[in-house]
Amino acid sequence: MMSLKQPESMDELVYFTRRKTDKSKIIAWVFRENCPVCGKGLMQKPTGPDGKVKVRAKEYICPECKHRVPDKEYEETLTINIEYTCENCGKDGETQAPYKRKSFQGVPSYVFECVHCGTKIPITKKLKEPKKK
């Protein structure tokens, strides 16, 4: 079993979530990447004059060299790290998946497969429930 690197603080992350149901639990996070130009700074959303991060900004910026990348383009290069307990087989697992939402039963979700039983597991946007068949 691979051992995923655990985040030490929220400052090094783009995304973090912790979900729990009766039979399953999921912890997922996405690390910020180094600047593709200078390689020194971690890419981040720009900050306003008051020092607060502009979470709705449409770009990421390097604090070192001020290189800017559109948010969609940057987020497509990232990988989501996931620790979970599968609700189908009950086994614990770790995996990585592309940081890209797909439609899963009509709800935008990060979708990954259980490494033990192959069940597709969604991490839904805003805790929405997938449509039942």
pLDDT values of the chain reduced to their tens digit, one per residue, 133 residues = 457 889 999 889 999 999 998 888 999 999 999 998 998 889 999 998 998 989 899 999 998 999 999 999 999 999 999 999 999 999 999 999 999 999 999 899 999 999 999 999 999 887 777 776 6
Q: How high is the pLDDT of residue 125?
A: 83
DSSP state of 72: H
d(CA 1, CA 46): 37
Total count of residues recorded for the chain? 133
Q: How high is the pLDDT of residue 1?
A: 46
Q: How high is the pLDDT of residue 29?
A: 96
Q: How high is the pLDDT of residue 19?
A: 92
Q: What are phi and psi of 59, to 5 degrees?
A: -150, 165
* 86 exposure class (CB count in 10 Å sphere: 0-12, 13-18, 19+): buried
Q: Which helix (H) or strand (E) holds 108?
A: strand 107-113
| Structure token digits, residue 81 | 């790290």
Give CA separation, 93 vs 29, 83, 84, 86, 130, in Å.
15, 6, 5, 8, 22
Where are any strands of DSSP class E within 21-73? 25-31, 59-61, 68-70
In this prediction the pTM is: 0.85
For residue 12, the SS3 value is helix
